[in-house]
Amino acid sequence: MTFHADHAVGILFAATGGIAVYLGLDYGFGDLSEMGPGALPVLLGTTLSVFGIALLMKATLANAGAAAIALIPREEIRPFLAILAALFVFSLLIDRVGLLPSVVALIGLGWLADKRSRLKELPALTLAIVAIILGIFHFGLGIPFHLFDWSI
């Protein structure tokens, strides 16, 4: 048996459904005339688990011979890591150094995602994007960002 993307989805559905039922029972089901906050999580969680198990069964029985499908194809590993790293670093920097340095870091890391990009384009591109972002959010909409924030 090869591991198939449908196995992952089946496990996700079954597990999420199970958690929803468990938590829902804790929140209180109530009864039909006076449903508690846990009623929908229990009902929907059960449904989701049933669908999850059905998918798992089908993936195991029916696709036994099918080739495994990679959840992340090789050519998308680089953009996946680079984009998420860029967002994560932005979230770490934004409260500490202010908007402009954070956006520059975001662009720098995000730039690594595409192997076709050329380094010599990066400075001009960064400048252009920062200018447009500033134009829209800071000057256009007047949202009070801290542009630089070295205080911490």
Footprint on residues 20-79 left by other proteins (CB under 8 A)? 20, 23, 27-28, 31-41, 44-45, 47-48, 51-52, 54-55, 57-58, 61-64, 71-73, 75-76, 78-79
Q: How many CA atoms lie within 13 A of 71 on its CB side?
A: 8
DSSP state of 69: P
Q: What six digits make up the tokens of 69?
A: 């499908």
Of 3, 22, 80, 148, which one interacts with other proteins (CB under 8 A)? Answer: 80
Window 109-138: residues binding other proteins (CB under 8 A): 110-111, 113-114, 116-117, 121, 125, 129-130, 132-133, 136-137
DSSP assignment of 21-60:
HHHHHHH--EETTEE-TTHHHHHHHHHHHHHHHHHHHHHH
Q: What six digits make up the tokens of 85?
A: 């790293």
Please state the closest distance from residue 67 (CB atom) to other proteins, in A.
14
Please state the closest distance from residue 81 (CB atom) to other proteins, in A.
9
Contact (CB, 8 A) for 66 and 2: yes
Please state the closest distance from residue 139 (CB atom) to other proteins, in A.
13
91 binds other proteins (CB under 8 A): yes
Strands 30-31 and 34-35: antiparallel
Please state the closest distance from residue 90 (CB atom) to other proteins, in A.
5
Please state the closest distance from residue 7 (CB atom) to other proteins, in A.
10
Window 4-23: residues binding other proteins (CB under 8 A): 5-6, 8-9, 13, 16-17, 20, 23
Point out which residues pair with 31 in neighbouring strands.
34
Q: Where are the beta strands (DSSP E) in 30-74?
A: 30-31, 34-35
